Structure 1
Amino acid sequence: MKPILTLLAILLALSALCAQQYPEINEQRLQQTLDSLATFGRDNQDRPNRVAFSDGDLQGREYVISLMEAAGLEVRIDAAANIIGTRAGRNPELKPLALGSHIDMVPLGGNFDGCVGSMGAIEVARTLNDRGVLTRHPLEFIIFSNEEGGVMGSRAMAGKLSEDALRVRNSTGYSMAGGIQRLGGDTLTLESAQRPKGAFSGFLELHIEQGAILDRRDLDIGVVTGIVGLNWWDVTFQGMANHAGTTPMNLRKDALLAAARFVQAVNEEALKMEGSQVATVGRIEAQPGAPNVIPGEVKLSLEIRDLSAEVIQSLYRNIQMRAQDISSDSGVQINFEALDTTGIPALTDPDIQQTIEEAAQELGLSTLRMPSGAGHDAQDIAIIAPVGMIFVPSRGGISHSPDEYTSPEDFANGTQVLLNALLDLDSSLE
């Protein structure tokens, strides 16, 4: 019996040793950093309003830099105004592993979207620093600039930030170009922010789900399988403005009536196709906008999202055909103008998916593989590196709102999975 007991003791010891290979994050410290970040960029009603390029964004970035420096990172701001903290690895010849997210928000947004991933990444750096853990790979901790206004920083890093995009202004009044300069970047050397394909061994992003699937099903961790692409169009309906009281109904070229039929057609065509594609008309403007004048012109937006670029284009073609029918019936001309797409479909790396799932399950956390219906920085980084994303529940699926909320427990769970997955990738990747 003794040899068997001795073998059992050895196995238990080895098991304990393996279980101890992951340092534990500091949950209280993690939450405190998130709460402190939330104090920067409040409006006059004390609501979160840290839009990119604003004074609050500048203050939040200063706070983030101080945390990164205290965690022993070498911090710099690249030409696209991304904040990058580097940490040496045992083997400098290996490509870095990277992780991070963003801290800017939409106007009157929430304190969790992007911020959870950013503070989670910094907590990983602090934990490694506290425990004296030196990874094989060099590490990069990245806080991307202006994610909400067009994934500016990550697009620049992937070499996909266009000249047209640099002229776009956000609610602060600054253009992307002006904002880059204000945040400490340099538009004259913007190409230096670009990384070649293969620059990273892998990239991880922790994020709130921004939907209600995990929350409603009482699940801990979402393992993201891919990030949807999305395309935008401006659609113009040109009819004829005329007197609302004297123009007979059968002689009208009512642009708003044609637009209303189009909105219904968009919904019908999206529902006809099998799959999880979505199509939305989110903005509509009618001119001249008087109660006693038949609308002569309408401009509206069309957005289509899916994990497949082919599905997006197929649905768009179907919608175009419906528009042709509406135009013929109504005598209203309908024109589509394709806008700069804000994201191409990006599948996450299968091996990284598996690593995240196993890291969560080893912690006793429930998991679900799921797509992301919203765009993220990881979507652009997928152009140059294998990526993985970790979702944590968002209460009620509320996002881009002051009511956005993720519990401290869920936040800590996601951050621990982030750390453990990073260390697993550090061991397995070359």
Structure 2
Amino acid sequence: MKTSYLFYFLLFSFSIISKAQEVPEVDQDRLEKTIHTLAKYGMKENGETNRVAFSDADLQGRAYIISLMQISGLEVSVDYAGNIIGKRAGKDPGLKPIGFGSHIDMVPDGGNYDGCVGSLAAIEVIRTLNEAGIKTEHPLEIFIFSNEEGGVMGSRAIVGELLDDALSVVNSTGYSMREGINRLGGNADRIWQVEREEGSLTAFLELHIEQGGILDREEIDIGVVEGIVGIKWWDVNIKGFANHAGTTPMALRKDALIAASKFVLAVNEVTNSYEGNQVGTVGRIEAFPGAPNVIPGEVQLSLEIRDLSSAKIEKLFEGIKSRAKAIEEETGTSFSFTPIDATSAPALTDERIQKIISEAAAEMGLSSMQMQSGAGHDAQDMARITPVGMIFVPSVDGISHSPKEFTSPEDMANGANVLLRTILKLDQSWF
């Protein structure tokens, strides 16, 4: 009995190992080549690339992406929000698709890896499956989202959160979202038709460079994202009293800029008073009337708080408001806080998908760690309608939104291979 049990146990273990070894790997050189080719669309004389959404360079880059998807045998379309969608049939048409992808648009004078790694890795996964003759049970659907950097436009449309007032927002190209959607081949008048129902996808995965430098510093191969932080913004107005800078005694001043300075320090102190990875930032400040010989009578500044917990964001805000009240009494000024609507709620990734990503990395002998994303992503919106997972790969020195951002070919391939294995594991376990 013991011998027979051992035999079947070894046979079962060998079967698992054999199946793991049968998983194909992406073509690292081909993936790197597509990254470099995409970077040519919008490249300037200094060798840096500028490919903001709706620009001519964006249109050219999208045409290149569509050509790669078509070469890969995908059924390609552009939806009414300007998203590029590539579909691959599965063995069972009754199953909901597994979605994955990212974006290719940039911030002005950004880098060649943010979004692009996830988009081109998604296409590389399809090409690898084709070459290995693997047809998944589930249909597969690639999403190349439109205008991610300008307000996650494409993914917001898919989950029904792109409201009419957002369509009038103009980016650095001079085009509004409405004009840009039409320029990309969408139809802003019918954008409501792209909304997907909750549960219409089996899952959604996004591979992305890690923008905080933790993986690079810790020399970890793969980041398993446990959640994307929520972001809340406020405009803060501080009223003092403008007066002559030469004749008003220091003790009699109501200096709004002094109050603002104390407030900036208070934001830092309150944010650091809690354990965790929360962040609080004053990123913009302007004093009025702005003359060297006038005591500032008014200051306008911004407040941003990010965390995985909405409750903690609210707790931090209440703490900051309490400190502002004390500063009012100390300086003779008054504070007002106006919420800005362009905020996002925290989005936790699915714990089951986190586990699958970790297992996929371990099978390849790659190190991994759980981490949060301090930046927003399309996956944050997709979490409204389906379970999501995010895979991070290192960006050297944590540099992002910069021409100097760089992810090595090895790290890109590692991420693409983990994405591939995760898709195959989801395909076999989620019905």
Listed as ranges, the gaps of 5+ residues in structure 1 are none
Tell me what 1:417 maps to. 418
- For 1:149, give the aligned amino acid: G
Tell me what 1:151 maps to. 152
> Does 1:217 pair with 2:206?
no
Tell me what 2:355 maps to. 354
Tell me what 2:335 maps to. 334
Contact preservation (8 Å) 1:41, 1:50: yes
Residues 342/37 of structure 1: CA separation in 2 closer, same or farther (3 Å cut)? farther
Listed as ranges, the gaps of 5+ residues in structure 2 are none
- For 1:42, give the aligned amino acid: M
SS in 2 for 1:294: coil
1:46: how far off? 3.1
Tell me what 2:22 maps to. 21
CA distance in 2, matches of 1:197, 1:388: 16
1:13: how far off? 6.2
Contact preservation (8 Å) 2:20, 2:363: no
1:144: how far off? 0.5
- For 1:271, give the aligned amino acid: N
Q: CA RMSD in A?
A: 1.9
Tell me what 2:238 maps to. 237
Tell me what 1:72 maps to. 73
Q: What TM-score, normalized by structure 2, do the two folds share?
A: 0.95
CA distance in 1, matches of 2:7, 2:188: 66
1:42: how far off? 2.7
CA distance in 2, matches of 1:165, 1:183: 17
CA distance in 1, matches of 2:195, 2:72: 26
1:132: how far off? 2.5
Tell me what 2:263 maps to. 262
Residues 163/223 of structure 1: CA separation in 2 closer, same or farther (3 Å cut)? same
Identity rate, percent: 61
SS in 2 for 1:339: strand
> Does 1:202 pair with 2:203?
yes
CA distance in 2, matches of 1:174, 1:296: 36
CA distance in 1, matches of 2:87, 2:64: 17
CA distance in 1, matches of 2:225, 2:123: 21
Contact preservation (8 Å) 1:269, 1:315: yes
Residues 231/59 of structure 1: CA separation in 2 closer, same or farther (3 Å cut)? same
CA distance in 1, matches of 2:281, 2:61: 33
- For 2:76, give the aligned amino acid: V
Residues 345/4 of structure 1: CA separation in 2 closer, same or farther (3 Å cut)? closer
Tell me what 1:308 maps to. 309
Contact preservation (8 Å) 2:42, 2:49: yes
What is the CA deviation profile of residues 54-96 of structure 1, one whole-angstrom value per residue up to 9, with x for unaligned ones? 1111111111111011100011111111110011111111111
CA distance in 1, matches of 2:359, 2:319: 41
Tell me what 1:252 maps to. 253
Alignment of 1:27-426 (within 5 A): 27-426=28-427
Contact preservation (8 Å) 1:150, 1:342: no
Q: What TM-score, normalized by structure 1, do the two folds share?
A: 0.96
CA distance in 1, matches of 2:269, 2:338: 21
Residues 46/241 of structure 1: CA separation in 2 closer, same or farther (3 Å cut)? farther
